[in-house]
Protein backbone atom coordinates (compact mmCIF):
# COMPACT_ATOMS: atom_id res chain seq x y z
CA UNK A 1 0.00 0.00 0.00
CA UNK A 2 1.28 3.43 -0.89
CA UNK A 3 2.03 5.77 1.99
CA UNK A 4 -0.72 8.27 2.83
CA UNK A 5 1.11 11.16 1.15
CA UNK A 6 1.85 9.38 -2.14
CA UNK A 7 -0.06 10.71 -5.18
CA UNK A 8 -0.31 7.09 -6.36
CA UNK A 9 -2.66 4.29 -5.29
CA UNK A 10 -1.88 0.60 -5.55
CA UNK A 11 -5.27 -1.12 -5.98
CA UNK A 12 -4.04 -4.72 -5.76
CA UNK A 13 -0.67 -6.25 -4.76
CA UNK A 14 -0.35 -8.02 -8.15
CA UNK A 15 -0.79 -4.83 -10.15
CA UNK A 16 1.94 -3.49 -12.46
CA UNK A 17 0.30 -0.05 -12.72
CA UNK A 18 -0.52 2.57 -10.08
CA UNK A 19 -3.47 4.96 -10.20
CA UNK A 20 -2.89 8.70 -9.92
CA UNK A 21 -5.00 10.15 -7.10
CA UNK A 22 -3.56 13.69 -7.12
CA UNK A 23 -2.40 15.46 -10.30
CA UNK A 24 1.29 14.96 -11.08
CA UNK A 25 3.51 17.55 -12.79
CA UNK A 26 6.50 16.79 -15.00
CA UNK A 27 9.59 16.79 -12.79
CA UNK A 28 7.75 15.82 -9.58
CA UNK A 29 9.74 13.48 -7.36
CA UNK A 30 7.80 10.21 -6.97
CA UNK A 31 8.59 7.06 -5.07
CA UNK A 32 7.47 3.74 -6.52
CA UNK A 33 8.00 0.69 -4.31
CA UNK A 34 10.83 2.50 -2.52
CA UNK A 35 12.60 3.62 -5.70
CA UNK A 36 12.79 7.37 -6.44
CA UNK A 37 11.41 8.24 -9.88
CA UNK A 38 11.08 11.63 -11.58
CA UNK A 39 7.75 12.21 -13.32
CA UNK A 40 8.34 12.47 -17.10
CA UNK A 41 5.15 14.39 -17.85
CA UNK A 42 1.97 15.90 -16.40
CA UNK A 43 -0.59 13.22 -15.53
CA UNK A 44 -4.11 13.91 -14.28
CA UNK A 45 -6.19 12.11 -11.67
CA UNK A 46 -7.47 8.66 -12.60
CA UNK A 47 -4.68 7.86 -15.06
CA UNK A 48 -2.12 5.06 -14.68
CA UNK A 49 1.66 4.99 -14.22
CA UNK A 50 3.83 1.90 -14.72
CA UNK A 51 4.86 0.28 -11.45
CA UNK A 52 7.51 -1.80 -13.26
CA UNK A 53 9.35 -1.64 -16.56
CA UNK A 54 6.90 -3.03 -19.10
CA UNK A 55 7.58 -4.35 -22.62
CA UNK A 56 5.29 -4.48 -25.65
CA UNK A 57 2.97 -7.48 -25.28
CA UNK A 58 2.99 -7.44 -21.46
CA UNK A 59 -0.40 -7.77 -19.80
CA UNK A 60 -1.39 -4.69 -17.83
CA UNK A 61 -2.70 -5.66 -14.38
CA UNK A 62 -5.06 -3.40 -12.44
CA UNK A 63 -7.40 -4.61 -9.66
CA UNK A 64 -5.23 -7.75 -9.89
CA UNK A 65 -6.73 -8.49 -13.29
CA UNK A 66 -5.56 -8.07 -16.92
CA UNK A 67 -7.15 -4.95 -18.42
CA UNK A 68 -5.25 -5.03 -21.75
CA UNK A 69 -1.72 -5.30 -23.18
CA UNK A 70 1.18 -2.94 -23.80
CA UNK A 71 1.80 -1.99 -27.44
CA UNK A 72 5.12 -0.26 -26.60
CA UNK A 73 7.66 -0.39 -23.78
CA UNK A 74 7.45 1.92 -20.79
CA UNK A 75 9.81 2.65 -17.90
CA UNK A 76 8.89 2.65 -14.23
CA UNK A 77 6.76 5.77 -13.59
CA UNK A 78 5.81 6.21 -17.26
CA UNK A 79 2.24 7.04 -18.31
CA UNK A 80 0.24 3.99 -19.45
CA UNK A 81 -2.71 4.89 -21.70
CA UNK A 82 -4.02 4.79 -25.28
CA UNK A 83 -0.60 5.59 -26.79
CA UNK A 84 1.11 2.45 -25.46
CA UNK A 85 -1.67 0.11 -24.45
CA UNK A 86 -4.63 -1.67 -26.09
CA UNK A 87 -7.68 -3.68 -25.12
CA UNK A 88 -7.57 -7.48 -25.34
CA UNK A 89 -11.32 -7.69 -25.14
CA UNK A 90 -13.29 -9.38 -27.85
CA UNK A 91 -17.02 -8.71 -27.62
CA UNK A 92 -18.65 -11.96 -26.60
CA UNK A 93 -21.18 -11.86 -29.44
CA UNK A 94 -18.33 -11.95 -31.96
CA UNK A 95 -16.03 -14.20 -29.93
CA UNK A 96 -17.26 -17.55 -31.27
CA UNK A 97 -16.17 -16.64 -34.79
CA UNK A 98 -12.84 -15.24 -33.61
CA UNK A 99 -12.42 -18.01 -31.05
CA UNK A 100 -12.79 -20.60 -33.81
CA UNK A 101 -9.85 -19.20 -35.73
CA UNK A 102 -7.80 -19.01 -32.53
CA UNK A 103 -8.76 -22.53 -31.54
CA UNK A 104 -10.40 -21.44 -28.27
CA UNK A 105 -8.63 -20.30 -25.12
How many residues touch other proteins under the rule CB under 8 A: the total is 37
Single out the segment in contact with other proteins by CB under 8 A; choices: 24-32, 33-41, 50-58, 86-94: 86-94
Site map for other proteins, 31-70, x if CB under 8 A?
-------------xxxxx-----------x-xxxxxxx--
Sign of CA dihedral 26, 80, 50, 9: positive
Rounded-to-integer distance, Cα 95 and Cα 49, Å: 30
Sign of CA dihedral 83, 54, 60, 16: negative
Question: CA 48, 53, 58, 62: dihedral to nearest 10 degrees?
Answer: -30
Given 42, 78, 89, 98, the residue binding other proteins (CB under 8 A): 89
The reply on whether position 81 binds other proteins by CB under 8 A is yes
The reply on whether position 87 binds other proteins by CB under 8 A is yes
Rounded-to-integer distance, Cα 87 and Cα 97, Å: 18
Residues that bind other proteins (CB under 8 A): 1, 4-7, 9, 11-12, 19-22, 44-48, 60, 62-68, 80-82, 85-89, 91-93, 105
Amino acid sequence: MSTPISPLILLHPDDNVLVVRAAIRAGDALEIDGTPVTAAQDVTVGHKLARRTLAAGDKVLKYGAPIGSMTAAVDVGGHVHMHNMKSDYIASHTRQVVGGSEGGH
